[in-house]
């Protein structure tokens, strides 16, 4: 991976996100540190439960395992540096570090978008074709979908990073964000960026809207199938299996759309940082909490792994 154009006068950026809250820096550090540790512990718990519970050795939970791992790596790219800058008087980041952070941030973010869509397809097969589920969602297809999500995600990240690194940066060098994201960095380029912004906007549509539309199509077939189930209990159980995934879908794609489905980087504002906190901190925390609190299979497996007594139904 190449870094930003070395002919530029600017040699480093200054991340000024949260700088206006100087008196709250220590409090923000404590809050973000707590959230970060909680994210790591929650995702590690989900991965451990899936790994050591044989009842969860299915494609659905395999995808959840990979998503939890990817989310953990995703937060590792951003939050540790944020914590350092909250306690530091200097909030500088070199071109190499900025390019590297942007590449891995986009890589894991794109991978997560595709993985969530894959999980939607898995639910479609499980509900609409239950008798053929194990035949269709075999290990080979599962590994292929995961690999395709990761490779496609990081290829798109490489293209986006290369588009930005070719831009000349002559100053100023103050990035109005707490990490190197596309829009705040592009705003600092001292050249016409409209063509490249359009290219990046097209990539954003590919990463956000295409998976989201595929999920909507999958759930269209799912709802149609569920409505044909004769018993109310059967319908309830079918909808319950999709509730966790749908919650993650709307939060994840909703926040991403607010930030990235805008054609001009000039539309970026201080409010974007609040939205960015949602998809860089809240969403990675939401995934394991939603799947553990709303999914009965995960809750049962967690109790079994922890050695907690299991509730039994009295006939």
- pLDDT at residue 265, rounded to an integer: 44
CA distance 279 to 179: 13
- pLDDT at residue 301, rounded to an integer: 77
Residues 209-264: pLDDT tens digits?
999 999 999 999 998 988 888 888 778 877 777 877 888 888 889 888 888 886 55
Contact 54, 147 (CB under 8 A): no
Tell me the range of 60-64, 175-179, 213-217, 287-291 where mean pLDDT is highest: 213-217
Q: What is the mean pLDDT of residues 72-94?
A: 91
Q: What is the mean pLDDT of residues 172-189?
A: 88
- The pLDDT-based confidence of 9 (bands split at 50, 70, 90) is low
- The pLDDT-based confidence of 149 (bands split at 50, 70, 90) is very high
- pLDDT at residue 266, rounded to an integer: 46
pLDDT exceeds cutoff 60 at 269: no
Q: What is the DSSP string of 88-108?
A: -S--EEEHHHHHHHHHHHHHH
**Buried b / exposed e along 163-178 (16+ C-beta atoms within 10 A):** bbbebebeeebebbbb
Kindly report the pTM of this predicted structure. Answer: 0.87
CA distance 129 to 173: 54
- The pLDDT-based confidence of 88 (bands split at 50, 70, 90) is confident
- pLDDT at residue 125, rounded to an integer: 93
Q: What is the mean pLDDT of residues 8-18?
A: 79
> Which of 67, 93, 69, 62 has its CA nearest to residue 80?
93
Q: What is the mean pLDDT of residues 120-136?
A: 91
pLDDT exceeds cutoff 50 at 314: no
Least confident of 50-64, 134-148, 160-174, 250-264: 250-264
- The pLDDT-based confidence of 166 (bands split at 50, 70, 90) is confident
pLDDT exceeds cutoff 60 at 268: no
> Domain segments of the chain: what residues?
12-306
CA distance 48 to 130: 27
CA distance 163 to 185: 12
> Which of 73, 146, 155 has its CA nearest to residue 108?
73
Least confident of 109-118, 147-156, 196-205: 196-205
Mean pLDDT over each residue of the chain, to the nearest integer: 85
- pLDDT at residue 35, rounded to an integer: 93
286 vs 44, higher pLDDT: 44
Q: State the architecture of 12-306 in CATH terms.
A: Up-down Bundle (1.20)
pLDDT exceeds cutoff 70 at 7: no
């Amino acid at each position: 991976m190449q870094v930003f154009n070395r002919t530029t006068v600017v040699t480093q950026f200054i991340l000024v996100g949260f700088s206006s809250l100087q008196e709250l820096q220590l409090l923000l550090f404590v809050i973000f540190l707590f959230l970060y540790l909680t994210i790591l512990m929650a995702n590690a718990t989900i991965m451990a439960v899936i790994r050591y519970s044989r009842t969860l050795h299915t494609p659905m939970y395999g995808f959840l395992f990979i998503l939890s791992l990817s989310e953990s790596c995703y937060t590792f790219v951003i939050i540790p540096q944020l914590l350092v800058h909250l306690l530091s008087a200097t909030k500088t980041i070199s071109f190499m570090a900025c390019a590297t952070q942007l590449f891995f941030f986009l890589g894991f973010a794109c991978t997560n978008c595709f993985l969530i869509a894959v999980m939607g397809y898995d639910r479609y097969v499980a509900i609409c074709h239950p008798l053929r589920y194990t035949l269709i969602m075999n290990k080979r297809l599962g590994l292929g979908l995961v690999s395709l999500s990761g490779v496609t995600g990081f290829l798109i990240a490489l293209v986006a990073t290369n588009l930005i690194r070719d831009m000349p940066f002559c100053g100023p060098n103050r990035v109005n964000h707490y990490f190197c994201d596309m829009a705040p960095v592009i705003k600092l380029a001292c050249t016409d960026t409209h063509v490249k912004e359009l290219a990046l906007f097209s990539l954003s549509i590919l990463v956000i809207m295409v998976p989201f539309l595929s999920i909507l199509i999958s759930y269209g077939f799912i709802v149609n199938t569920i409505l044909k189930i004769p018993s109310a209990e059967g319908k309830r159980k079918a909808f319950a299996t999709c509730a966790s995934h749908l919650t993650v879908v709307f939060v994840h794609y909703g926040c991403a759309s607010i930030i990235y489905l805008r054609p001009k980087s000039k539309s970026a504002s201080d409010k974007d940082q609040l939205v960015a906190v949602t998809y860089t901190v809240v969403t990675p925390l939401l995934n394991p909490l939603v799947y553990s609190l709303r999914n009965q299979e995960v809750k049962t497996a967690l109790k079994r792994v922890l050695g907690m007594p299991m509730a039994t139904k009295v006939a």
